[in-house]
Structure 1
């Protein structure tokens, strides 16, 4: 059995700034686990394609595999875990400023330490340990999101604190099952996601990476960028787009290989270049907000 972390006081990190704690699976970003401290950038061309390796696909695959294993891993929260949640302390802190209380942040406050401990027994195999930790993080992100989303922001502090506790404890109850279930799917997932990553690298909008991990976006890169800004206050570096030029159906990025301008078929190079200028202007205004 993998080594387990002793139960930590669930709300022990409440005194930290909420913006430093916040971490969540973002729907427009493929439900990948991201922390508010993540450094995100858009890449285009050859340098981007070189990043589409298995080590950079773990977080995306973990999010996808979590969803596929969710119907198999259905354990309920253990009473001992729920008893360890200091809901009264959480409620007291929340009551001071209810608007700043972040259910997901509290729910995932100990996720890094918990997942490192969960997978410590795999230290002899770095690849297996990395996959285990990615699966563990996706489990906490998925459980916390589900529990917190089921409790509306208008609910009182006690209800939101209880939802945070419930999400963490359900994740703890299912993490072993999720890690084992997901382990069998990584190889096939890598093959599928790698193709999507490489394809996005050839698009004018580029591919998005956060802390070196590819983000398999849903609804377009810009939708994910907006969600990262609005929910986690993350400003994405889109400077790679600003150096791209399109002519006669081909896009050239400074220092990168040519990439297809499939998004603007039948248009002249001037039109494609104008669209990229607009995209660059949008990024500028986003960063100056």
Structure 2
């Protein structure tokens, strides 16, 4: 029998209760962009299996993964007409006191036409996921190292948006070939993780599963995300019965006490149960 992971033992449910900063995806979470997502939870056992079987929940994860895969062939430069228009608009905006921050503005600008353009596609949801992932990738490349005032931020912001626009058709065509297989792979991984570390879902969408879940949660906690953690444990007649709850904890990079508490309690209780079991087994052998 496969040994259950710590999340499986605890039946841990984790909900992100604050919005993440407007920035690129979280590397430890498969580079998924969490901005705009909510109701995030780690599911295990039956709830996990039911979630894994939902139709269409893997599009965000697949689009994010395939954007990197297709990046080797989708390398068109931004159209001069796009960047030239940006230069003029940026000067006007900055001269008029508009506060442009590349990491905040690029993604919103890049996705402005998404819903209209994707409405005519055979699978609008897949198109939207690809659009978002492509914009996030190009904006991150331009915004991550930007240094300067309003004008520099605005120019780099436009550069990311224009690069994404130039490569959008290529990304969609390239990803479309691999998308169905990608969804099947993620579903298999999701289902296989339900008896172990479980799978992370946000708004019902699959994010990541298995051994990557704890690392992802640590990365989110390091960003100061409020995490709600609750767990119920039942081991056996002489084991742990009851509820281990962390309540609602505000995590910050320097504060580990909130997350350590319930796990330390679980470990101590488990150690006591194992010690009692060894003594009982020892007496039975005499």
Q: How does 1:84-123 map to 2 (within 5 A)?
A: 84-85=85-86, 86-88=89-91, 89-90=93-94, 92-94=97-99, 102-122=101-121
Q: CA deviation at 1:182?
A: 0.3
In structure 2, C-alpha distance between the alignment counterparts of 1:42 and 1:218, rounded to whole Å:
10
- 236 and 172 in structure 1: CA distance in 2 versus 1, 3 angstrom threshold: farther
Question: Secondary structure at 1:75's aligned position in 2?
Answer: coil
Say if 1:22 and 1:102, in contact at 8 Å, map to a contact too: no
Q: CA deviation at 1:229?
A: 5.3
| Aligned twin of 1:30 | 30
| Aligned twin of 1:210 | 202
TM superposition outliers: structure 1 runs of 4+ over 6 Å: none
In structure 1, C-alpha distance between the alignment counterparts of 2:246 and 2:236, rounded to whole Å:
19
Say if 2:78 and 2:162, in contact at 8 Å, map to a contact too: yes
Q: CA deviation at 1:285?
A: 5.3
Answering whether residue 144 of structure 2 is matched by residue 149 of structure 1, we say yes
Q: CA deviation at 1:207?
A: 1.5
Instruction: List runs of 5+ in structure 2 lacking aligned partners.
Output: 1-18, 253-257, 260-286
Q: CA deviation at 1:221?
A: 2.3
| Aligned twin of 2:74 | 73
TM-score (norm 2): 0.68
Determine which structure has more spread, i.e. the larger CA radius of gyration: 2
Question: Would you say how many aligned residue pairs link Structure 1 and Structure 2?
Answer: 231
| Aligned twin of 1:135 | 130
Q: How does 1:5-84 map to 2 (within 5 A)?
A: 22=22, 24-53=24-53, 54-84=55-85
Deviations 1:97-142 (A, max 9, x none): xxxx7422211113444221221212xx4xx221111111110011
Question: Secondary structure at 2:84's aligned position in 1?
Answer: helix
Deviations 1:67-102 (A, max 9, x none): 1100111111112222333323258434xxxxxx74
- 30 and 282 in structure 1: CA distance in 2 versus 1, 3 angstrom threshold: farther
| Aligned twin of 2:251 | 286
Deviations 1:164-205 (A, max 9, x none): 1111111111111101110011111112111221233222x4
Question: Secondary structure at 1:201's aligned position in 2?
Answer: coil
Say if 2:106 and 2:157, in contact at 8 Å, map to a contact too: yes
Say if 2:228 and 2:246, in contact at 8 Å, map to a contact too: no
| Aligned twin of 1:184 | 177
- 190 and 37 in structure 1: CA distance in 2 versus 1, 3 angstrom threshold: closer
- 236 and 78 in structure 1: CA distance in 2 versus 1, 3 angstrom threshold: farther
TM-score (norm 1): 0.67
The RMSD of aligned alpha carbons is 3.4
Say if 1:119 and 1:132, in contact at 8 Å, map to a contact too: yes
Instruction: List runs of 5+ in structure 1 lacking aligned partners.
Output: 1-18, 95-100, 249-267
